[in-house]
Structure 1
Amino acid sequence: MPDRKTEIKADHNTENKSENGQCAETSHTYQEWLHYGKTLLQEQGVADAETDAWLLMEYVSAITRVYYAMHGREKMDEAEAQTYEGLLKKRASHIPVQYITGEAWFYGYSFRVTPDVLIPRLDTEVLVEQAELRILPGMNILDMCTGSGCILLSILKRHSVSGVGADLSERALDVARSNQKRIGVRGASWIRSDLFQNIGGTFSMIVSNPPYIASAEIETLSPEVRDYEPRQALDGRADGLYFEKTIAGEARKHLKPGGWLLLEIGCGQGIEMREYLAGAGYQEVEIIKDLGGNDRVAAGRTENV
């Protein structure tokens, strides 16, 4: 470990005599390593430093909170400790913990993530919840800008429906395909498409978490988001509404009569998207807020024939 003020301090002497008389540093306990990790991340301005230090320890050592509570003063395996320190340094450089572990939890499922896809977020679960409120058996669903596939796969895992995930990035689609196997979902297919360019047929529901951050705001985001998440999954162009409006405008041609469009939107975009959907001919237009009281989902329905 580095020679620094936050260096882990052993409970006893930090040196032992080996058989050949040389000094050898003793290993350190889980508690000491966790304290070191938390302090290192805090010093580098990492939000949720304590949580991330624990998540990386859990990932490396495969221990639980219960095990840690009972065995925290035991020595950490040396190889695991070296791996842990390496991952801490990555996190200290603001690489998101999900990209380090290759895993993100969403809607109760563990999804594979890489820097080719946006990290699934708790706020997006509101979109899935709203889709579930409107789902009927046998529906077919299009997930535009699918990324990791977490939205579509979470829906298909819980309902007797089928779906298509579309994305411009073939690498993102590779991640989505791997998640289909990981989650154990049938009825999903994947297509590379620049929005609706390669989409044929009609759907009972279209869901999407498109890029909706205004271009000028990208540089104000945290380094975890700004420097490591895919820019094309974030940048909604000048006002952040380009993709939301484009999808809403084109979706009507791909929705069955009475079909639903559900879009994740950004904070403060609700009023404009409500007006846009209503002006585009959608009915039952609604703006749903997340648990924080922020605009999160814009919903509208095509006319029944």
Structure 2
Amino acid sequence: MTVGALLNKYRKEAEYHDISLLLCELLDCPFLTLSLRKEEELSDRLLENFYTNYARLRNKEPVQYIIGKACFYGLEFSVSPEVLIPRPETEGLIELALQFIPENAKVLDIGTGSGTIAVTLKTLRPDLTLVATDISASALKIAKQNADYNNCAISFYQTDLYPETEDSFDFIISNPPYISPSDYAKLDTRIKEYEPKLALWAEENGLIFYRRILKEAKSKLKPEGLIFFEHGDEQRQNIIHLAETYGWETILIKDDLAGYPRYLGFK
């Protein structure tokens, strides 16, 4: 069977794009060049591997976990079920943060997961000093791999939110777990079965990590320091209220590209 014949076989399926990604991974070719290889004959071994992976896809396993990587901000990141699959909304958080982070700043990424925020910021702004934390040792292992793969010098700490250092930061950025227990029960089965609950679930109606980060941040930031969050689309006013309770002033309120409330900045 040729590449073209295999693609035609699944052209009308909803997962066609993901199927194409599976084939690209097996052929070790960029997505944009797949159409140039339509006449290529596929070996029996490669077809066997494809059908094995296709069965996983039909079982609702995310394609990123099947191929072991995801694209974020034009960079390649290793992913596994120990870390969340990076979302486009978080690219928006980075774009906003870059407008506010001063030159040669020291930046703390809380809850780094696969390291997408820290690695992307360091790649785009080599002048920055990046520190990243996560409570999960498995997540940090992947984050370190991604930092090495993208040639980024980042200091990683396994800890609950803040590193146990005397460092002061110019900027804190975080996309913490923010799915409340009631909302978690409503999530797509694909997310609940395959993505790590630790990186999604948050008590106090999804607000516990915002409260804890905001409560401690004054002692971790320099006097002119800023803190930026990604958040759930129904949490904006509650987070602003929390911030005001701890003496923070709101300096940024933005929606994502789909028009949902998504980003907040404080000083």
Structure-2 change in CA distance of 1:65 and 1:252 (3 Å):
closer
Q: Which amino acid aligns with 2:48?
A: Q
Q: What does residue 215 of structure 2 align with?
A: 249
Structure-2 change in CA distance of 1:173 and 1:74 (3 Å):
closer
CA-to-partner distance for each residue in 1:49-93, whole Å, 9 max, x for gaps?
A: 111011101111134566543442443222211111111011111
Higher relative contact order, chain-length normalized (CA < 8 Å, sep 6+): 2
**CA distance in 1 between partners of 2:31 and 2:106 (Å):** 41
- For residue 141 of structure 2, the aligned residue among 151, 164, 174 is 174
Structure-2 change in CA distance of 1:207 and 1:85 (3 Å):
same
Q: Which amino acid aligns with 1:169?
A: S
| 1:218 maps onto 2:218 in alignment | no
SS in 2 for 1:83: helix
**CA distance in 2 between partners of 1:75 and 1:249 (Å):** 60
| 1:207 maps onto 2:173 in alignment | yes
Q: What does residue 84 of structure 1 align with?
A: 50
Which deviates more, 270-279 or 210-219?
270-279
- For residue 72 of structure 1, the aligned residue among 35, 38, 41 is 38
Number of residues paired by the alignment?
266
What TM-score, normalized by structure 1, do the two folds share? 0.82
**CA distance in 1 between partners of 2:31 and 2:141 (Å):** 33
Deviation at 1:284, TM superposition (A): 4.0
Q: In the alignment, is the contact (CA less than 8 A) between 2:115 and 2:143 conserved in 1?
A: yes
Q: Which amino acid aligns with 2:107?
A: I
Q: Which amino acid aligns with 2:41?
A: K
Deviation at 1:275, TM superposition (A): 2.3
**Equivalences for 1:108-119 in 2 at 5 Å?**
108-119=74-85
Structure-2 change in CA distance of 1:68 and 1:104 (3 Å):
closer
What TM-score, normalized by structure 2, do the two folds share? 0.93
CA-to-partner distance for each residue in 1:125-149, whole Å, 9 max, x for gaps?
A: 1111121011122110111101111
**CA distance in 2 between partners of 1:147 and 1:67 (Å):** 31
Choose 1 or 2 for highest CA Rg: 1
Q: What does residue 190 of structure 1 align with?
A: 156
Q: Which runs of 5+ in 2 are unaligned?
A: none
**CA distance in 2 between partners of 1:69 and 1:246 (Å):** 50
Q: What does residue 248 of structure 2 align with?
A: 282
RMSD over aligned Cα, in angstroms? 1.8
**Equivalences for 1:1-305 in 2 at 5 Å?**
28-37=1-10, 42=13, 48-64=14-30, 67-159=33-125, 160-186=127-153, 188-196=154-162, 198-301=164-267
Q: In the alignment, is the contact (CA less than 8 A) between 2:250 and 2:264 conserved in 1?
A: no
Q: In the alignment, is the contact (CA less than 8 A) between 1:278 and 1:285 conserved in 2?
A: no
Q: Which runs of 5+ in 1 are unaligned?
A: 1-27, 43-47
